[in-house]
Structure 1
Amino acid sequence: MLRNALWQGMVAGLVGTAVMTVGEKLEQRLSGRPDSHVPARTLERLMGLPERPRRQPRALNLAMHYGQGALLGILRSLMAQVGLRGAWASTMFSMVRLTNDQILENATGVGAPPTTWPRGELAVDLLHKTVYGFATGAVSDALAAREGMGPGQRHAAIRPGRHHGVGPAPRPARV
């Protein structure tokens, strides 16, 4: 399960990041919002690289953007492997994606807490992270579904709904 979660998650995360990036570029064309260089600035600080405020480090921006998306995709894939699938799981994961950004950006001093942002910027960021979360989730869920139900789904199938006194699903036979 873990090995599949690794490769499937990286694939799903890269697809989710690509979908999010396309959405961001479309939104920027419509809104006139400039590119954000926060991912690059965050990576510079995490890696201890020299900062050059007048330079727009596109390669670092892409490395952070796609690298973070691929690595977080592993978590969403693991969710799908254990049976956390669908819109509810993708909603939970979207918040993880946003939280990860905020931890790194605030820890490095590159970003500020979202509660201090203009509401429009916050809405745009939430939209893009949700697009990433659902796109990554769709790919993760589809790849995990090829292997059948996850343990959580097998447990839920014992007696649909949440009921008192339903024990865990039987362990799968060892091969």
Structure 2
Amino acid sequence: MQDERQTAVEAASVATRIAGAIGKGLVAGLIGTAAMTIAQMIEMQMTDRESSNTPYKAAKKVFGVKAKDDESKKKISNIMHLVYGASWGVPRALMAEFGINGASGTLAHFGAVWGTELTLLPALHVMKPVTEWKPEAISEDVMFHSIYAISTGLAADALVRWSGDEEDA
């Protein structure tokens, strides 16, 4: 009987940690998305580049949404960008919650996020494969996703550490 209670308490503790990490991850992902967006806005002002409509194309392909005009396309792109970035914060916070933090957590997170972009978006036919990109475009994309991963990682690690939920390594 005691063993069953102990197992139930441990399971509840793990579930509580997971639920907490999900919330922390959403916040961390939003922080990372904000940092990436600011960097992109600065770059767009410096180069006169227009914002990407790839998030809209992905939303159209996956969810069947159709914008009635360019303003709606921009709104849908922005929403997709925020939701996608916030949701990717969840696995990073889960890593931090269970001891994969710091540089190793951030590097793993970067690989997952950027690797997904490089495989999923070309598979959806909303973006060219990276093998067809110019070197400058690759370096910019790596930079923006690095800004995202580092910012998200710092936020996730801090949120987990400040809450006192991180296990001692």
Q: Under TM normalisation by the shorter chain, which class is it?
A: 0.7 to 0.9
For the pair 1:41 / 2:57, whether they are aligned, the reply is yes
Post-superposition offset of 1:104: 3.1
Gaps of 5+ in 1: 155-175
Which is helix-richer, 1 or 2? 2
**Structure having greater relative contact order (Cα 8 Å, sep ≥ 6):** 2
CA–CA separation in structure 2 for the residues paired with 1:113 and 1:51 = 25
Cα deviation code 1:57-113 (max 9, x no counterpart): 011101110111111100000010011111232122112111222333122111121
Which residue of the other structure, out of 26, 32, 36, is the alignment partner of 1:16?
Answer: 32
Tell me, yes or no, if the aligned pair for 1:39 and 1:64 is still in contact at 8 Å. Answer: yes
For the residue of structure 1 that corresponds to 2:76, the secondary structure is helix
Tell me, yes or no, if the aligned pair for 2:96 and 2:166 is still in contact at 8 Å. Answer: no
Number of aligned pairs? 151
CA–CA separation in structure 2 for the residues paired with 1:148 and 1:49 = 40
Alignment of 1:134-173 (within 5 A): 134-146=150-162, 147-150=164-167, 154=169
CA–CA separation in structure 2 for the residues paired with 1:42 and 1:138 = 28
CA–CA separation in structure 1 for the residues paired with 2:30 and 2:128 = 26
> More deviation in 99-108 or 134-143?
99-108
Instruction: Give TM-score scaled by structure 2 length.
Output: 0.82
What is the CA RMSD across the aligned residues, in angstroms?
A: 1.7
> More deviation in 19-28 or 84-93?
84-93
Equivalent residue, structure 1, for 2:70: 55
Which residue of the other structure, out of 105, 120, 135, is the alignment partner of 2:121?
Answer: 105
